[in-house]
Structure 1
Amino acid sequence: MIYQKNNKTLKIMVIPLPPPVLSLVIPVFNEGSDISKNLQTIISAAFCGEDKPMEVIAVDDGSSDNSVATILSITQTDHRIRLIELTRNLGKEAAIHAGLAAARGNAVIILDADLQHPPELIPQMVELWTRGVLVVEAIKVNRGRESLLSKFLSHLFYSLFYFFTHLNIRGLCDFKLLDRHVVDTYLAFPENQRFFRGLIGWSGYPSARIPFKVGTRQGSGGSRWSRFRLLGYAIDNITALSSLPLQIVSWTGAFSLLLGIIIGLISLWQKCQGIALDGFTTINLLIVIIGGTILMGLGIISHYLRRIYEEVKGRPGYLIKPRSNREHKQ
C-alpha cells in the first residue's frame, strides 16, 4: 500500500490475516451483561492450534440492551470477532442463516452465547472433522432444569416430529460443526422458513455425535417464548419437512365417507324392516363429527397455504444493518 505525507511517498507493507479455518457462529439476543466474558471463554476453549486460525461471528438478533455496543468494543481489540446486526428480532433460525452466510471457514460451528453449549467440546468436534466427518452434532444427555410439563411437551414434540418426518432429532440442538460443503448446501436451499436441526438431519450427511450435559445459563438473555408461540413453532417445523398432515386430511375424508355409507346402509335396512328409530341423535352426532373434521382439514390446508404464501413473496429471511450505521455508533 502507498501512503503520501508531506510530499513524501511511503510504502507500507500490509500483512493480511490468514484465512480462517474455523468459524464460530454465535447468535446473540439481549446478552449484554455477560457477552464480553462469554465470548472470551468461548474463544479460549475453541483454540485448536496456530494451524487452525478462527473467526467469531456474533449475530445480534435485534437486541434491545447494550449487546451491540459491547460486541463492537470487543472487536476493536480482537479482530477475530465480527458483528452482524440484524435489523430487528427475526428469530434464532434467521440469525443462524445470516451467520452461516457470512462464515468463511472450512468448518463452521454454531453455538449459543450463554455457555449452555459447552465450548470445551469444540476441539473434539474439530478432531472428528479432520478425520473426514462432515457433520459433528452435540447431543443432550439431559435437558437441564425443566418442569415436568416442559419435559412432557418436549417428548411429545420429538415423538410427533419423528412420526411425521421419520427424522430422529431427539436430544439434538443447534450446537453443531458443519463442513464447508454442508454449509454451502444448506445455504443453497431455496426456502426462507427454515428449521436448522431438521434440514441438517434431512440432508443425511455422514455425522458423529458427542454427548453433553446442558450447562447453567450464563447471561440475562434466553428464550422468552410463551407456550402458545412454542406450539406454533413446533407446527411450523413439522410441516416444513412433512406433507403427511395433508394426507391425513384425505384419509379422514375417506373414513368419514365410509362411515357415512355404513350408517346410510344400516338406516336403509332398518327402514325396509319397519324398525327405523328417530335419528335426531345420530344426525346431530354425524353433523358434529363431519363438521369438526371438515374444519380441521381446512385448518391444515390453510396452514400449508400460509407457508406457500410466505415463500412465494420471495422476501429475504433476514436483513442486516449497513456497516456504516454501526460505525457511526462507535
Structure 2
Amino acid sequence: MTDTTRTGRARRRAAATKTAPAGQRSRRGKRLSLIIPMHNEAPVLDALFERLDATVGGLKLALEIICIDDGSRDDTLERLRLRAATDARIRAISLSRNFGKEAALTAGLEAATGQMIVPLDADLQDPPELIAEFVTLWEQGYDVVYGVRSDRSSDTPLKRTTADLFYRLFNSVSDYPIPASTGDFRLMDRCVVEALNRLPERNRFMKGLFAWVGFKQVGVAYVRPARLAGETAWGYRKLFRFAVDGVTAFTTVPLRIWTLVGIGAAIAALITGVGLIVRVLIVGRDVPGYASLMVALLFGFALQMIALGVMGEYIGRMYQEVKGRPTYLVKDRIGFDA
C-alpha cells in the first residue's frame, strides 16, 4: 500500500459511512472496465500494466482494460498489440488520427462493457491503488466516485494557479459546478456511462458532462504524484483552449455579460451627451478634446471586438455541431473478438 492510499483513508471511510446513500451493491460477478487514453505513452506501458496487475488484479472482479491509441507517433500501438495477443483482458482502439483526450475518452466509454467503469491516465498520475476504495464506495450505493487532488505539488505554481482560477470561474457562471481539483479519474456505474453515451454533442467537455448527468456522487482525496515518464502534451495554449471550451459548453453567461456591458455603455453615452448639451447651453461652446475623443472611440471599438469574439466562440461551436461529423474515427480494434 502506498502513501497515496494511506493518506486520510480512515477519515474518508468514516465520512462515507455517515453519508452513504441507501442501497448496497455486491461486486460478485461484476466486471470492471478501465479506460486509458494514450498518446505517445510507450515509455510508461510496462510500469502501467505492472501497477495494474499488482493493484486491480486482486479486487475479485472480471477485468477489461481498454486502451485508446489517440494517433500516437511512437510504438504505443505496436506494444499494445503485443500485449493484447497474450492477455485477453487488454483491448485496444486505434483512432485514425489524434482527436484529443475528450474524443479518446468518449471512444472508451462507448466500448466499455463493465458494470463499473474507471477512466485513468496512462502516466500513473492517477494511482491505480485508489480504485479499490472506489469500488468499496460503489458497493455502498454511490454511482460516481471521483478523485480529488488534495496535493498538486507535482504541478508547477503557474499550473496550480491557473487551474484554481478556472474552477472558480467555471463554478461561478455554470449551473452545474465541478468539484474543485477533480479530473477524469473516477469510477462510474453502468447507468452513468449509458447516460453519458446518450449525449449527442461533439464538443465534449467531459468534466462538465460528468457533473451535468448528476447521480449519487462522492469524492475521495488523494495526493497526485508526478508524471512517471515523458512529457505532458497539455501546454498552456492547449489548456487555455480547453478552458474556453468548458465555459462556452455549459453557460451563456459570457453573452449575457456583453448585453449588460452594452446597456451600461448606452447609459454612459446618454449621460455624457446630456452633460455636453448642458455645458454648451451654459458655457456657450464645448472645450475641444481630440485626445479624449480618440480614447473613447478606441475603447468602444475594443469592447465591440471582444464582444464579437465571444459571440464568435459560440457561433463556431454551433457550426461544429451542425456539421454532424463523428467525434472520432476508428482505424483498428484489437482484442474485442476475444
Q: Please, what TM-score do these two structures have when normalized by structure 2? A: 0.86
1:237 aligned partner: 246
Question: Structure 1 residue aligned with 2:313, among 290, 303, 307?
Answer: 303
- 1:55 matches 2:80: no
Offset of residue 77 of structure 1 = 1.5
Offset of residue 177 of structure 1 = 0.6
Question: Structure 2 residue aligned with 1:141, among 115, 134, 150?
Answer: 150
The unaligned stretches of length 5 or more in structure 2 are: 1-27
Q: What SS does structure 2 have at the residue aligned with 1:216?
A: coil
1:31 aligned partner: 41
Question: Structure 2 residue aligned with 1:254, among 263, 266, 276?
Answer: 263
- 1:283 matches 2:293: yes
Greater RCO between the two (CA within 8 Å, min separation 6)? 2
How many corresponding residue pairs? 306
Report the residue type matching 1:157 in the other structure: F
- Aligned mates of 2:138, 2:114 — CA distance in 1: 13
Inter-CA distance 224–255: structure 2 relative to 1 (3 Å threshold): same
Q: What SS does structure 2 have at the residue aligned with 1:76?
A: helix
Mean CA deviation greater in 32-41 or 74-83: 32-41
2:5 aligned partner: none
Mapping of residues 5-20 of structure 1, within 5 Å: none
Q: What SS does structure 1 have at the residue aligned with 2:154?
A: coil
- Aligned mates of 1:115, 1:140 — CA distance in 2: 14
Offset of residue 124 of structure 1 = 0.9
- Aligned mates of 2:96, 2:76 — CA distance in 1: 14
Offset of residue 104 of structure 1 = 0.1
Question: Structure 2 residue aligned with 1:196, among 206, 210, 224?
Answer: 206
Q: CA RMSD in A?
A: 1.8
Inter-CA distance 85–19: structure 2 relative to 1 (3 Å threshold): farther
Q: Please, what TM-score do these two structures have when normalized by structure 1? A: 0.88
- Aligned mates of 1:232, 1:263 — CA distance in 2: 39
User: How many percent identity over aligned positions?
Assistant: 33
Offset of residue 20 of structure 1 = 5.7
- Contact kept, 8 Å, 2:59 with 2:132, in 1: the verdict is no
- Aligned mates of 2:219, 2:33 — CA distance in 1: 19
Report the residue type matching 1:35 in the other structure: L
1:174 aligned partner: 184
Cα deviation code 1:253-296 (max 9, x no counterpart): 11110110010010011011025322323322221221111111
Question: Structure 1 residue aligned with 2:79, among 61, 70, 77?
Answer: 70
Offset of residue 43 of structure 1 = 3.3
Q: Name which one, 1 or 2, has greater alpha-carbon Rg.
A: 1
Report the residue type matching 2:229 in the other structure: G
The unaligned stretches of length 5 or more in structure 1 are: 1-17
- Aligned mates of 1:93, 1:19 — CA distance in 2: 30
